[in-house]
């Protein structure tokens, strides 16, 4: 009997230890939240653009949205709010002095807290364009292959298309990756200037392949061509582009880049941000800039683990954000709107619309909040930990109303 009792105790101990290990190793709590539990948080706070009054200015402004791959405020010097001894982004820092940005600190650069469903490029675009996290029951870069991408949601591309905007999406990779073809077709019927399109236009040879497709040096040159075309159209435009050279691991170092730093990734960042500013300066020299707002966002935190391996884990890394030439009602907002803010990338949807002079009933779209307004964000009202915990959980509303086009299958538009 003692042996039996001992064996039973050991078996229970092994089982308990295995469960603890399994929960930690395989993140079973997260799995439970994602697939079993249900939270009404998104349903309770989702504001569909279908149901909100949006008032555009009489003269509609152009909007340019530049996603900078993995660009963080971390790369700034410590006195600016970054983590570096030497500022890796001096040109971008200078440019920021001409616009507005939102920080979690009282007096230095900062940015949004990364949320569930926003930590890779496609997810970051969904957050900013649709005001929603990307919560999908499969590999994030496999979604959208069916030709549908969150068809129940309404985003900025849908809104601006309905207002007569001409729209283009541009990046050096193949837009089929991550379902971005479906995403930008479903939500705004964008013109595409991706890797395939550029080859079809004869701008690069059919067998050309650098990094993800074509490099950022070419991206900026082709972007100038496309913006010149858009500006020649008799309608406002929305132009979206994403860089790629600063993608992990180590980034792609242009042959034109100088190498003042020991680490390749630092040299890539240093060169990339300077080229971004050159591109912005070109835009500012164009006649159309007077009626154009530029939004610049680091899309998500960098995944380059080697570069950050010796960082203090208590340092808060945030993505860079900047808005240039917004409407006067935005620039005249009190300073409290720009500092000591807790916000997420999904807040960019209403914020971008506000930056081009759109009045938003209630200052909310998706689950995002117009940062130029005095309306608290979800993070500010409910706390960052609580919001993230709720977003981790399964949302039946999201699965039944966002993943499918519920408005075409008898859904009540007022049912939120």
Residue bearing tokens 């509303």: 397
| pTM for the model | 0.89
Q: How confident is the model at residue 136 (pLDDT cuts 50, 70, 90)?
A: confident
Answer for the pair 135, 150: CB distance below 8 angstroms, yes or no: no
- Find the mean pLDDT for residues 267-289: 98
- Find the mean pLDDT for residues 340-363: 98
- ∠ CA 339-343-345, nearest 5°, is 125
Tell me the residue length of the chain. 416
Question: CA torsion 328→220→202→189, rounded to 10°?
Answer: -30
Question: Is-cis flag, bond preceding 249, omega within 30?
Answer: yes
Structure token pair of residue 201: 């236009």
> Helices 384-392 and 28-35: crossing angle, nearest 10°?
70
- ∠ CA 81-257-111, nearest 5°, is 20
Separation CA 365–CA 154 (nearest Å): 9
Pairing status of strand 62-68 against strand 237-242: parallel
pLDDT of residue 416: 36
Cα torsion angle, 20, 23, 24, 29, sign: negative
Percent of the chain predicted with pLDDT > 90: 84
60: how many CB neighbours lie within 10 A of its CB? 18
pLDDT of residue 26: 54
23: how many CB neighbours lie within 10 A of its CB? 14
What number of H helices and E strands is found in the chain? 16, 10
Structure token pair of residue 398: 């999201």
pLDDT tens for residues 153-200? 999 999 999 999 999 999 999 999 889 999 999 999 999 999 999 999
- 57: helix, coil or strand? coil
Most distant CA atoms of the chain, gap in Å: 91
Answer for the pair 346, 118: CB distance below 8 angstroms, yes or no: yes
Structure token pair of residue 213: 């497709």
pLDDT of residue 389: 97
- Find the mean pLDDT for residues 201-214: 97
Q: How confident is the model at residue 317 (pLDDT cuts 50, 70, 90)?
A: very high
Pairing status of strand 292-298 against strand 166-171: unpaired
- Find the mean pLDDT for residues 210-225: 98
Element (DSSP H or E) covering residue 244: none
Which of 25-29, 143-147, 324-328 is predicted with the least confidence, judged by mean pLDDT? Answer: 25-29
- Find the mean pLDDT for residues 298-312: 96
Non-local (6+) Cβ contacts of 4 within 8 A are: none
pLDDT of residue 145: 61
Separation CA 255–CA 266 (nearest Å): 15
Say if residue 412's pLDDT is above 50. Answer: no
Separation CA 246–CA 216 (nearest Å): 10
Structure token pair of residue 220: 């900026």
Structure token pair of residue 74: 């971390």
Answer for the pair 172, 211: CB distance below 8 angstroms, yes or no: yes
Q: How confident is the model at residue 86 (pLDDT cuts 50, 70, 90)?
A: very high
217 burial (CB, 10 Å; 0-12 / 13-18 / 19+) is middle
Which of 32-36, 80-84, 210-214, 297-301 is predicted with the least confidence, judged by mean pLDDT? Answer: 32-36
Pairing status of strand 62-68 against strand 292-298: parallel
């Amino acid at each position: 009997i003692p042996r039996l009792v001992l064996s039973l105790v050991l078996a229970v101990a092994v089982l308990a230890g295995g469960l603890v290990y399994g929960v930690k190793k395989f993140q079973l709590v997260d799995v439970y939240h994602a697939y079993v539990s249900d939270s009404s948080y998104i349903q309770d706070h989702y504001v569909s653009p279908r149901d909100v009054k949006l008032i555009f200015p009489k003269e509609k402004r152009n909007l340019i949205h530049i996603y900078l791959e993995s660009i963080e405020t971390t790369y700034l010097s410590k006195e600016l709010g970054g983590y570096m001894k030497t500022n890796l982004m001096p040109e971008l820092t200078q440019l920021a002095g001409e616009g507005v940005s939102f920080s979690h600190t009282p007096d230095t650069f900062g940015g949004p807290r990364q949320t569930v469903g926003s930590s890779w490029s496609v997810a970051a675009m969904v957050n900013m364009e649709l005001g929603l996290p990307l919560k999908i029951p499969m590999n994030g870069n496999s979604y959208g292959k069916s030709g549908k991408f969150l068809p129940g949601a309404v985003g900025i591309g849908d809104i601006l298309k309905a207002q007569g905007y001409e729209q283009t999406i541009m990046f050096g990779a193949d837009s089929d990756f991550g379902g971005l073809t479906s995403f930008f077709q479903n939500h705004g019927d964008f013109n595409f200037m991706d890797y395939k399109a550029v080859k079809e236009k004869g701008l690069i040879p059919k067998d050309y392949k650098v990094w993800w497709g074509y490099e950022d040096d070419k991206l900026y040159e082709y972007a100038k061509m496309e913006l010149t075309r858009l500006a020649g159209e008799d309608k406002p435009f929305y132009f979206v582009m994403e860089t790629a050279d600063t993608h992990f691991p180590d980034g792609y170092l242009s042959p034109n880049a100088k190498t003042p730093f020991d680490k390749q990734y630092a040299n890539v960042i240093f060169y990339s941000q300077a080229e971004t500013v050159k591109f912005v300066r070109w835009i500012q020299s164009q006649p159309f800039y007077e009626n154009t707002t530029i939004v610049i966002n680091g899309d998500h935190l960098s995944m380059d683990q080697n570069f950050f391996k010796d960082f203090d884990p208590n340092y808060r890394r945030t993505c860079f954000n900047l808005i240039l030439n917004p409407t006067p009602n935005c620039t005249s907002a009190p300073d409290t709107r720009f500092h000591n803010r807790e916000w997420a990338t999904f807040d960019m949807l209403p914020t971008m619309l506000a930056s081009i002079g759109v009045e938003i009933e209630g200052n909310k779209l998706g689950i995002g909040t117009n940062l130029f307004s005095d309306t608290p964000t979800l993070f500010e009202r409910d706390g960052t930990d609580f919001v993230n915990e709720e977003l981790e959980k399964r949302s039946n509303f999201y699965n039944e109303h966002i993943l499918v086009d519920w408005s075409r299958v008898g859904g009540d538009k007022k049912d939120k």
